[in-house]
Amino acid sequence: MGVDHIKSMTREDFKDNEYIDSLVEELNATGANVMVGKFDDLINWGISNSLWPLCFGTSCCAIEFMSLGAARYDMARFGFEVARNSPRQADYVMVQGTIVHRMAPVMRRLYEQLAEPKYVIACGGCAVSGGPFKNSYCVVPGVEEIIPVDVFIPGCPPRPEAMFYGLMQLQRKIKVQKFFGGVNRKEKIDQFFAEHPEEKGQIS
Amino acid sequence: MSDIKERIKNIYPAAEFEEGEDLLVIVAEADWHHVAERLKNEKGLEFDVLTALVGMDWKESLGVIYYLTSTSRGWDMISVKVIAAGDRDNAYIHSVSDLWKVANFQEREVYDLLGIKFVGHPDMRRFFLRNDWVGHPLRKDYDADPKLNPIRLEDEVNEDDTRSFEIDSNGQLKEVPGKVFAAEDYVVNIGPQHPSTHGVMRFRASIDGEEVKKVDVVSGYIHRGIEKLSEGLGYPQILHFTDRMDYMSAHQNRHCLCMCIEKALGLEIPRRAEVIRVMMDELMRISSHLLSFGCTAMDLGATTAFFYGFRERELVLDIFEKTCGARMSMNYNVIGGVIADLHPDFVKDVKHLIEIMPDRLKEYHKVFSGNIIAMNRLKGVGMLSREDAVNYDITGPSGRGSNWSCDCRKVRPYSIYSELDFEEVLLDGCDSYSRYMVRMKEIEQSCRILAQLVDNIPEGDIRAQVPKIVKLPVGRWYQQVEASRGTFGVYIESTGEKTPYRVHFQSPCFNLVGVMDLCCTGNMIADLITIGAALDFVIPDIDR
């Protein structure tokens, strides 16, 4: 005896391939290979839902990030909960707090130690622009002076909800990226480092 | 207090005095070490605590202002002014780090930021800034040209060489090279990027097997130059920096700075504002100790306790959010009072908090305090005797865990604390466990203070009338409060302008990190983390 239906799907729906056709059309229009495009989607779906942060809190924002990990805000709901202490195991670094001159080379090295694909979130006023300490003699005015940033979250410190919004923006960004084809992220990153060389004593 | 002048004249006839908020004694550099020794040991004076050490640049000369406290004389405080000898490039003062150990890091800070060399200090390295930094930022003639100090991206070379200075027979300053670690030492690096150091602190520990032989503290990974920034801003503009130093004592720190400015202006604060401030301070203390509980537990692998601590902390944050408009960095105290009136739910929320806290504390003790792992890892670990606590000026719960009665709310009451009924928690275990337990018991005491005030918040203004442009008269002021981690001090020197001439923040955590070497030596390397957790320092408070 044949099965009448699978869960809530009616028999007719199985013959309806419209959505697949439209997807193929869309991908062809953007020049993507269907196979590679599908792999991209699968990988991006995986990455975006299991983003592991590197614990990198220098000041106040780090405490709010801890609130994110605790029960009320519970970032485990979105796959962010596995905070790693080693950059080798993390997907992205969320820079929480002021970066000062002494920290700058450490920050750059931590970024380089992250495995590809890697992302950066500048969280809070200090990481975005230097914040209230912008005019200080030893504060880096925004972490983008030293590493490429994907998402900025303003606030001093940002509320946990704002942090979630920023993290989800990163998820969205990852979902539309092209892992295989298209303009590779790597090129953009290489371009950033060409503009920000690690010369002795001077960055342009 | 009146006999102090006499007694100082006895030990140092050449002393000059300057009246001010505190008695200021001017001591010549050549006599300073000798006088300091007498001040510390002379019967009847016994200034056993070096409360603050403020490096100064008076343009024509460099120098240091020392704040000394005598616990045996009822916490009398005097200040001593010493003008550095030598020219500007080679300014020097004799070190007092052999008398008061707390001066060790503080003198290094002054050397770093003002370029005063301390003769006889064993380890004259920079403290906050990179080894290759050009200039001393707190000097008034500091060249802030970014070309001199660009953002350097090459790694800093670990400085194993150190130096000390001495005066040779010709009266000339002589540099004596030294080593931080011996060539055969096995040195392990911890930090700056590791959550268990509670921020971006870096330790270099030399170990023998698993035993720690020496800990070298490398600080400055979040040195933001707040003191220099403050010199260019008006008084109301510098308030917000205090919220971002020890962000877990935001209310207390800001309270301190506001009090210091109000003291200088001679402002009378409305009673309602005083009560609100104290209640906020105590709520902040509860939130800080809950975080400390959670982090101590998490450092030992007890993640559940962390969730418990944060559950109650969120209640406190809700109270802050309703009234102040922010969960952290509340920016609530202002000169003359507080910025906004209480939220209608405030009384209800605070009552709810103090009602549930006793039960929740029992739960914490059940989950963590009595746990065998916690006991083994905390009891008898990181010993700090009372004498050392005094000598290193370890205040707050860490000092009280060594049975040193140092609660600023009791020994030097400010605001309305003298009217309140609460106990100073003292434990004599001198170990990490005592420090941890003091915190837990202080939560009870904070609840007790809140319970006394919650039904007695007087009606009235929340802010005194403050001039639009705040100008302090000429002078210097020092104010202390009991922050969550110890005694927090603010020093302001004014020349009558809209901006301060010099602001110094004497943070409790700066002293706490100073005992890491003492507490860790002889313990296992794994205990370094728990000792740090029990001391509970906040790194931006150290680095400022």
Is A203's CB within 8 Å of B192's CB? no
Instruction: Let me know whether B159 and B292 are in one domain.
Output: no
Task: Answer yes or no: is A29 within a domain.
Answer: no
Instruction: Let me know whether B137 and B259 are in one domain.
Output: no
Which residues of chain A lie closer than 8 angstroms to B153, CB-CB? 104-105, 108, 146, 198-199, 203
Q: How many distinct structural domains can be found in chain A?
A: 1
**Residue B87, φ and ψ in degrees, nearest 5:** -80, 180
Task: Answer yes or no: is B82 within a domain.
Answer: yes
User: What string of DSSP letters covers B136-181?
Assistant: -TTSTT----TTTS----SPPPP--EEEEEEE-TTS-EEEEEEESS
Smallest Cβ distance to A139: which of B220, B224, B310?
Answer: B224
Instruction: Let me know whether B416 and B472 are in one domain.
Output: yes
Structural domain ending residue among the three candidates B122, B151, B180? B180
Q: What is the pLDDT of residue A203?
A: 42
Which residues of chain A lie closer than 8 angstroms to B241, CB-CB? 132
CATH number of the domain bearing residue A174: 3.40.50.12280
Task: Answer yes or no: is A176 within a domain.
Answer: yes
Task: Answer yes or no: is B345 within a domain.
Answer: yes
Please, what are the averages of pLDDT over each run of 10 residues along chain B (544 residues)?
79 81 84 87 85 89 90 86 86 90 91 89 88 88 83 79 84 84 87 78 88 89 90 89 88 92 89 91 92 88 86 90 88 89 90 91 87 87 89 90 89 88 88 91 91 89 86 88 91 89 91 89 88 88 86
Smallest Cβ distance to A63: which of B150, B220, B328?
Answer: B328
Task: Answer yes or no: is A94 within a domain.
Answer: yes
CATH number of the domain bearing residue B103: 3.30.460.80
Q: What SS3 class is residue B19?
A: coil
- If residue A127 lies in a helix (H) or strand (E), which one and from where to where? helix A125-129
Q: Report whether B478 contacts B79 (CB < 8 A).
A: yes
Place of tokens 């275990």: B429
Examine residue A157 and say whether the peptide bond preceding it is cis (omega within 30 degrees of 0). Answer: yes
Instruction: Let me know whether B306 and B422 are in one domain.
Output: yes
Q: How far is B307 from chain A, CA to nearest CA, in Å?
A: 6
Task: Answer yes or no: is B51 within a domain.
Answer: yes
Which residues of chain A lie closer than 8 angstroms to B222, CB-CB? 58-59, 97-98, 100, 103
- List the structure tokens of B153: 């991206």
Structural domain ending residue among the three candidates B180, B203, B218? B180
Round to whole Å and give the CA distance between B51 and B77. Answer: 9
Round to whole Å and give the CA distance between B526 and A193. Answer: 38
Q: What is the pLDDT of residue A49?
A: 85
Query: Over 80: is that where the pLDDT of A3 sits?
Result: no
Kindly report, residue by residue over B400-421, the tens digit of the pLDDT.
Answer: 988 888 888 888 888 888 888 8
Is A136's CB within 8 Å of B192's CB? no
Task: Answer yes or no: is B507 within a domain.
Answer: yes
- List the structure tokens of B527: 């205990």
Q: Which residues contact B311 (CB under 8 A, 6 or more apart)?
A: A70, A71, A72
Kindly report, residue by residue over B337-386, the tens digit of the pLDDT.
Answer: 898 888 898 999 999 999 999 999 998 888 888 888 888 888 888 888 98
Round to whole Å and give the CA distance between A135 and A125. Answer: 13
Is A102's CB within 8 Å of B328's CB? no
Q: Report whether B506 contacts B52 (CB < 8 A).
A: yes
Counted across chains A and B, CB pairs separated by less than 8 A come out at 142
Domain hosting residue A88, numbered range: 52-195
Structural domain ending residue among the three candidates B147, B180, B213? B180
Task: Answer yes or no: is A62 within a domain.
Answer: yes
Domain hosting residue B108, numbered range: 2-180
Is the ipTM reported for this complex over the cut 0.90?
no
Smallest Cβ distance to B200: which of A67, A103, A132?
Answer: A103
Instruction: Let me know whether B143 and B238 are in one domain.
Output: no
CATH number of the domain bearing residue B459: 1.10.645.10
Cα torsion through A171, A175, A180, A182, rounded to 10: -110
Q: How many distinct structural domains can be found in chain B?
A: 2
Q: Which residue of A has its CA nearest to B113?
A: A137
Is B150's CB within 8 Å of A201's CB? yes
Task: Answer yes or no: is A201 within a domain.
Answer: no
Q: What is the pLDDT of residue A11?
A: 61
Contact of A57 with chain B, judged by CB distance below 8 Å, is answered with yes
> What single-letter amino acid sits at B171?
G
Task: Answer yes or no: is B213 within a domain.
Answer: no
Task: Answer yes or no: is B464 within a domain.
Answer: yes
Place of tokens 């109301």: B236
Among residues 144-203 of chain A, which lie with CB inside 8 Å of chain B? 145-146, 156-157, 159, 198-203
Is A105's CB within 8 Å of B232's CB? no
Give chain A's mean pLDDT. 79
Q: Report whether A58 contacts B200 (CB < 8 A).
A: yes
